[in-house]
A and B are shown apart, each in its own frame.
Chain A
Amino acid sequence: MATMKLGFGEGDRVPAAQPRPLSLKPLTTAVVVAELRLRLPDVERTIARLEEAQAVSQESLKLEMSV
């Protein structure tokens, strides 16, 4: 699992004065193309789900909060 500094999200954190090298893959056209083909359907599906979620149904509007 990821870790992060406390206070993240509370104002603008500044970039490190000496950026560390990042864990990036060497750029290979064949690999990038293959991975993009693999990931594109997932991204499209997630976006479609988000669009569905933005449509507020009449059923949801009628939900009554009464406890």
Chain B
Amino acid sequence: MDSTSRDATVTPFSETTLFESLSNKFCSPVEVAASARAKYLFAYLCDLGAKTIVVENDYVDRDYLDDYAAYYASCFRRYERHCRRVHFFKNGLTAENLWQAVRRESGAPTPEALNRDYLGFVVARPLPVAIVGRTVLRTYEPDGGRRNYTCVRQYHANLFGIPLQLESLAFQEQDTVLAACATVALWCSFHKAADLYQTPAPSPASITRVASRVSRASRPIPSHGLSVEQMCAAISHIGLEPEVFVVTKSTPLASLLVGHLAAGLPAVLCVAIEGGGHHALTVAGYSMRPQQHLPQEVAPGEKAVPMTGLFVDEFYAHDDQFGPFSRLVIKPSEQLAGQTFPVTLKGSWLEATTAKELTLFPLVVIFPVYHKIRVTFLDLQKWLERLTGLLWSLVLPQSTLLWNVRLTTTNVLKGEVRASDLPADVRETLLMRGHPRFIWRAELTLDGQPVLEFLADATDMDRSFPLYACVWKHEGFRSHLSDALALPEAAHLLTTLLTTRFHEFLTQPPDAGSLTWLPLAQNSPS
């Protein structure tokens, strides 16, 4: 077999071969070259070290087939039903090597070797525009742990019988017929939700159709966009709950996002584009630096407890106008039309004539969550605000307090506790006792030293006292706080600040080594 056959083509990776691979009879390579998505993919694949392109010339893609049946099949123009699938490899795979591997000849690259070099695939849709269909590409390297792609899952591809797999999150560009940005952002987030909760991952056509049942100011298809309300309806339809946060000047956006991303929950982020309209993207990862990135993550004059979001300098989002894992750099607070935003974002969006970077203003964040996750990040933050108010009175002015807040599950918590060096009695108690299925963890460090960690029941209700355990990680800190809580002259102020329930919880003697445990059966709404 040659490098080109009826079924497949193998070529060295280059701008020309990539654009040729993505083209079709309605969209020439020159037109592909003008697409922002194609340019982004070329730059991204160069960074990943792509050396070889393998094109499956006849590929049936489930999502495109649904879209085809819903719209393109009934057009007068004869659109193709089948796509191409374009695979990328690093380290220069030759056609001969690939055919040897397909034929299982001696000396052929093993499936393991092919998997090591595999960078993923792009489904090239046979359309005049919106050629980038389902795209699953490897992420960048972690760069020493800075980059965290927490919302990826495993994908499998079968290339002529060779099983290939990689960790990623599927992406595609909007076709503005069956899917605008909001539909695509939901589609990407549903791919991860399917992995977490075994919920369906419907096609773009199906998402738009379901979302448009709620209200429609105009015809749903061709789709020109979805409202937040319609996006919520699409989330409910797959059996999840839409947890919606309207971004105000006091919303600690970075910490809010990281608190969910750390549990693998992607966020649908709705933004206003400077000088443009409203756009939706899927946030799937973040970069955390060892140095604080911004002095605060809320607007000037607003207050929030110091949280790890302060160390996040960028997010990685699937932006259907560009590509997968596109960078969103966190910038300080700004105003737009009289509204103050806690932070702003800059990334791939440029002003058309001047190439000036455009600012994105965060409006709304939507997390598709399992119905049992009821206590929100902001519910927990309110309790942390209370305690931190007291702690600022106890620590020296130059001290650094920092909360690391993240959602987790009982199984992940127990796995981490088991692997930790917590004192044996605390570890055993945490492992042996029952925990809620979903838990908020809030670890406090003082001058870089962990001093305590709260566990909060995320399945409870927002008006309850959700904290049920506290692991004291520094005896000196516990003792100092305990002495402060016992000051008789401050008793009224302390209960006003903390509430009686929280005050009682903090003063309860640890019942197992350095663990304070409030039996869940004793938890009742305050």
A contact set with B: CB distance below 8 Å: 1-16, 19-25, 27, 29, 31-33, 35-37, 39-40, 42-43, 45-47, 49-54, 56-57, 60-67
What is the CB-to-nearest-CB distance from A36 to chain B, in angstroms, rounded to a whole number? Answer: 4
**A56:B476 contact, CB within 8 angstroms:** no
Extra pairs beyond A4-B448, A50-B250, A54-B376 (5, CB < 8 Å):
A2-B448, A14-B420, A23-B399, A33-B489, A36-B490
Q: Which of B90-98, B111-119, B151-159, B378-386 sits within the interface? A: B378-386
CA distance A53 to B505 in the complex (A): 27
Q: Which residue of chain A lies nearest to B483 when distances are taken between CB atoms in the complex?
A: A27
Closest to A42 in B: B303
Interface stretch (choices B1-9, B14-22, B400-408): B400-408
Minimum C-beta distance from B69 to chain A (A): 25
Q: Please name 24 pairs of A and B residues whose Cβ atoms are closer than 8 Å in the assembled complex, sorted by A.
A: A1-B295, A6-B144, A8-B308, A8-B311, A9-B258, A12-B419, A13-B443, A23-B399, A24-B399, A27-B483, A35-B393, A39-B390, A40-B496, A46-B250, A46-B302, A53-B245, A53-B246, A54-B462, A60-B363, A63-B228, A65-B270, A66-B277, A67-B225, A67-B321
- CB-based closest 8 A-B pairs: A66-B225, A35-B393, A14-B421, A43-B389, A65-B280, A67-B279, A12-B416, A1-B292
B138 within 8 A of A: no
Given A15-B473, A65-B181, A3 contacting B389 (CB threshold 8 A): no
Distance between Cα atoms of A50 and B310 in the complex (Å): 18
User: A27 with B145: in contact, given A33-B490, A65-B280 (CB under 8 Å)?
Assistant: no
Q: Which of A11, A12, A21, A63 is the one whose CB lies under 8 Å from B227? A: A63
A23 CB contacts on chain B under 8 angstroms:
395-396, 398-399, 446-447
Which residues of the other chain, A, contact B278 by a CB distance below 8 angstroms?
63-67
Evaluate contact between A56 and B246: CB separation under 8 angstroms: yes
Counted as pairs of residues, one from A and one from B, with CB atoms less than 8 Å apart, the total is 225
B447 to chain A: which residues have CB within 8 Å?
Answer: 20, 22-23
Residues of B within 8 A of A25 (CB): 393-396
Alpha-carbon separation in the docked complex, A13 to B225 (Å): 43
**Cα–Cα, bound, A54→B376 (Å):** 9
Mark each residue of chain B from 114 to 150: 1 if its CB lies under 8 Å from any CB of chain A, else 0: 0000000000000000000000000000001110100
Q: Which residues of B contact A15 (CB under 8 A)?
A: 421-422, 449-450, 473-474
Contact call B378/A22, Cβ cutoff below 8 A: no
Residue B210 interfacial (CB < 8 Å): no
**Minimum CB distance partner of A58 in chain B:** B229
B161 interfacial by beta-carbon distance below 8 Å:
no
CB of B338 within 8 A of chain A?
no
Chain A residues positioned under 8 Å from B148 (CB to CB): 9-10
A39 to B419, CA, bound (A): 39
Q: Does B238 contact A (CB under 8 A)?
A: no
Residue B105 at the chain A interface, CB threshold 8 Å:
no
Q: Name B148's closest neighbour in chain A (CB-CB).
A: A10
Rounded to whole Å, the gap between the CB of A1 and the closest CB of chain B is 4
- Tell me the complex Cα distance, A46–B288, Å: 26
A42, B231: Cβ atoms under 8 Å? no
Is the beta-carbon distance between A32 and B450 smaller than 8 angstroms? no
User: Is there an interface contact between B181 and A32, defined as CB atoms closer than 8 Å?
Assistant: no
B288 and A32 form a contact (CB under 8 A): no
Q: In angstroms, how far is the closest chain B Cβ from the Cβ of A51?
A: 8
Asked if B310 contacts A2 (CB within 8 A), the reply is yes
